């Protein structure tokens, strides 16, 4: 970057975004007040996003952005001094200097980036219900399942864990008399019914929705090693922020999975990060493309949580920028929190379009020198109406500007270039191989086989750890450490006592064990007891 470029660039706490009658600057200290990038398809939203991402990265701010079409991947390679780029830079008083940025690619399907995984437990019932498109009754049963899992120390890591748990809480009317007493899931079924009616039909509907999610690729998303979100908040050896790109072209074919996944990431950041107050620059900037998918048909309870997270995550030092076609795609109560605005052209071919243009114009602070509604329909490619927050936190008057050219490549990269970047990634090998830890599925299968977790140590297995040893000791005293069969009345009573004691131990010790036991499973168990704003786990 030349001295002149640096003067107009990102060295004085601001990012130079574009120039019209006035220069458009995005102040880093106010960048965590969130923002909005809107415009019709093909008007330059991706380039504006890239310009801002480059500015944040230069300033040492890590960036996360979803890449719908693959165009954003070019930020990883040096730009080319093409005639139109050099001309635009010269008109703005810049000397074009090619640049490139340290980039990490992520992919839920693990095909074009490092795999991204979360556990079912971490996702929580509220977001999972949204992902599965459940109604209120079905969501209630899902909440019961999570509560039973928490109370019984059943860690839900992947889809088979959740399926096994749902099977375990279904009332089994076929078992009567002695068969009912020998049912390994009697205590779990009773616990589930204690929270309300859990019907076989409702659980069956949830199971079918899980199948739909599996067919959309959900099986690859749920599992371990789970993503550590702090891996997004890295800088390279030059002190620049790493640019994390979520490859989302295939993921967008499952819109609900895409939107819920990004919302989960946002809620995890909200829960994990400590309060930071007003910082000179954000800790992380999060670009959410196709943002309308987040709000489409969202129930009121979820909308309330989204609004809460967006409002409060600012104090954690995270800036959230929604990218969509029209401001009306974003609900008013969220839109009111987005202080930094970039509006590209909208087309007004129909009465509905004309209303959308008028609504978009009204979201800006008026400029007496500019007819905002008229300008929105006249903007050329690469032009935008811009209003950023000023020093006192109020929006500046809207200005019509030409967006500066990116210094990195505009457009996608080749598969060979992507492979080279992934081979040199600092996270190579960390997430690439899935791990199937012992969790709810394995524990419940042992119960079916007549070797419950409380008896595992006595049968020579290593599962269950400290809790299994406690159950084994109690089981040995009362004679319940035997293969499942017809038990005497005393052994039935002893078995229930054993389970009760073990479950109480689990409830009382899980949080401490999660902090002290090494490995991902131990951490997951310790986190199951406290859920945050969107039903995920608080990792504090």
Predicted local distance difference test score (pLDDT) of residue 529 = 47
Instruction: Report in angstroms the alpha-carbon separations of 27 from 24, 57, 403, 446, 496.
Output: 10, 14, 16, 58, 63
What is the reported pTM?
0.80
Alpha carbons 322 and 331: distance in angstroms, whole number: 12
Q: Is 339 exposed, middle or buried (CB count within 10 Å of its CB: 0-12, 13-18, 19+)?
A: buried
Instruction: Report in angstroms the alpha-carbon separations of 104 from 101, 221, 249, 392, 421.
Output: 10, 18, 16, 35, 7
> Does the structure show a pLDDT above 80 at 1?
no
DSSP-derived pairing of the beta strands 340-343 and 383-387: antiparallel
506 vs 359, more confident: 359
Q: What is the mean pLDDT of residues 358-372?
A: 91
Contact 290, 249 (CB under 8 A): no
> Does the structure show a pLDDT above 70 at 533?
no
> Does the structure show a pLDDT above 50 at 467?
no
> If pLDDT is split at 50, 70 and 90, which confidence band does 305 have?
confident
Q: Is 433 exposed, middle or buried (CB count within 10 Å of its CB: 0-12, 13-18, 19+)?
A: exposed
Q: What is the mean pLDDT of residues 336-353?
A: 90
Predicted local distance difference test score (pLDDT) of residue 324 = 92
Alpha carbons 152 and 92: distance in angstroms, whole number: 64
> Does the structure show a pLDDT above 60 at 456?
no
Predicted local distance difference test score (pLDDT) of residue 504 = 44
Q: What is the mean pLDDT of residues 37-50?
A: 93
Predicted local distance difference test score (pLDDT) of residue 174 = 59
Q: What is the mean pLDDT of residues 428-445?
A: 91
Which H or E run includes 304? helix 300-312
Predicted local distance difference test score (pLDDT) of residue 452 = 46
> Does the structure show a pLDDT above 50 at 474?
no
Q: What is the mean pLDDT of residues 185-198?
A: 89
pLDDT tens by residue, 197-218: 899 999 999 999 999 998 888 8
Most confident range, picked from 233-237, 458-462, 469-473: 233-237
Q: What is the mean pLDDT of residues 15-25?
A: 93
Q: How far is CA 180 from the centre of its chain?
A: 42
> Does the structure show a pLDDT above 70 at 50?
yes
Q: What is the mean pLDDT of residues 132-137?
A: 92
> Does the structure show a pLDDT above 50 at 269?
yes
> Does the structure show a pLDDT above 90 at 404?
yes
Q: What is the mean pLDDT of residues 65-83?
A: 93
The phi and psi torsions of 364 (rounded to 5 degrees) equal -100, 155
Predicted local distance difference test score (pLDDT) of residue 536 = 66
> Does the structure show a pLDDT above 50 at 4?
no
Q: What is the mean pLDDT of residues 92-103?
A: 93
Mean pLDDT of the chain: 82
Least confident window among 226-230, 242-246, 319-323: 226-230
The percent of residues above 70 in pLDDT, for the chain, comes to 79
> If pLDDT is split at 50, 70 and 90, which confidence band does 326 have?
confident
């Amino acid at each position: 970057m030349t001295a002149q470029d640096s003067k107009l660039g990102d060295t004085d706490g601001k990012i130079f975004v574009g120039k019209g009658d006035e220069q458009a600057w995005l102040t880093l200290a106010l960048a965590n007040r969130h923002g909005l990038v809107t415009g019709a398809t093909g008007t330059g939203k991706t380039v504006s996003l890239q310009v801002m991402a480059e500015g944040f990265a230069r300033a040492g701010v890590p960036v996360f952005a979803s890449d719908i079409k693959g165009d954003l991947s070019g930020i990883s390679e040096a730009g080319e001094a093409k005639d139109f780029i050099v001309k635009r830079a010269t008109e703005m008083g810049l000397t074009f200097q090619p640049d490139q940025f340290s980039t990490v690619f992520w992919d839920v399907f693990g095909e074009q980036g490092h795999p991204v995984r979360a556990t079912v437990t971490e996702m929580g019932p509220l977001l999972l219900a949204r992902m599965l498109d459940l109604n209120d009754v079905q969501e209630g049963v899902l909440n019961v399942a999570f509560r039973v899992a928490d109370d019984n120390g059943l860690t839900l890591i992947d889809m088979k864990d959740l399926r096994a748990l749902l099977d375990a809480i279904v009332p089994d009317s076929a078992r009567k008399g002695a068969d009912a007493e020998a049912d390994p899931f009697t205590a779990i079924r009773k616990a589930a019914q204690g929270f309300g009616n859990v019907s076989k039909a409702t659980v069956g509907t949830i199971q079918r929705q899980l199948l739909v999610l599996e067919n959309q690729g959900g099986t690859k998303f749920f599992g371990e090693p789970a993503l550590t979100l702090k891996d997004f908040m890295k800088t390279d050896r030059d002190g620049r922020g790493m640019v994390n790109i979520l490859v989302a072209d295939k993921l967008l074919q499952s819109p609900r999975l895409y939107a819920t996944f990004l919302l989960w990431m946002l809620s995890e950041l909200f829960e994990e990060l400590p309060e930071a107050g007003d910082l000179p620059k954000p800790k992380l900037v999060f670009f959410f493309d196709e943002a309308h998918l987040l709000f489409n048909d969202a129930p009121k309870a979820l909308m309330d949580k989204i609004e809460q997270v967006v409002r409060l995550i600012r104090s954690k030092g995270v800036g959230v920028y929604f990218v969509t076609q029209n401001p009306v795609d974003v609900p008013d109560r969220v839109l009111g929190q987005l202080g930094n605005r970039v509006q590209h052209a909208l087309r007004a071919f129909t009465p509905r379009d004309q209303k959308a243009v008028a609504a978009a114009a009204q979201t800006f602070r008026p400029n007496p020198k500019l007819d905002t509604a008229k300008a929105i329909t006249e903007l050329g490619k690469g032009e935008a109406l811009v209003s950023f927050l000023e020093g006192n936190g109020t929006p500046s008057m809207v200005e019509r500007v030409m967006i500066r050219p990116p210094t990195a490549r505009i457009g996608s990269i080749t598969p060979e270039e992507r492979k080279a970047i992934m081979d040199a990634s600092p996270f190579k090998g960390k997430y690439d191989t899935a791990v199937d830890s012992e969790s709810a599925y394995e524990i419940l299968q042992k119960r079916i086989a007549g070797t419950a977790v409380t008896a595992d140590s006595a049968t020579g297995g290593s599962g269950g750890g400290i809790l299994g040893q406690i159950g084994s000791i109690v089981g040995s005293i009362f004679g319940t450490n035997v293969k499942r069969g017809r038990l005497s009345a005393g052994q039935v009573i002893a078995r229930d006592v054993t389970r009760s004691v073990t479950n109480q131990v689990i409830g009382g010790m899980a949080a401490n064990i999660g902090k002290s036991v090494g490995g991902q499973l131990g951490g997951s168990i310790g986190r199951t007891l406290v859920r945050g704003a969107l039903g995920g786990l608080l990792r504090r």
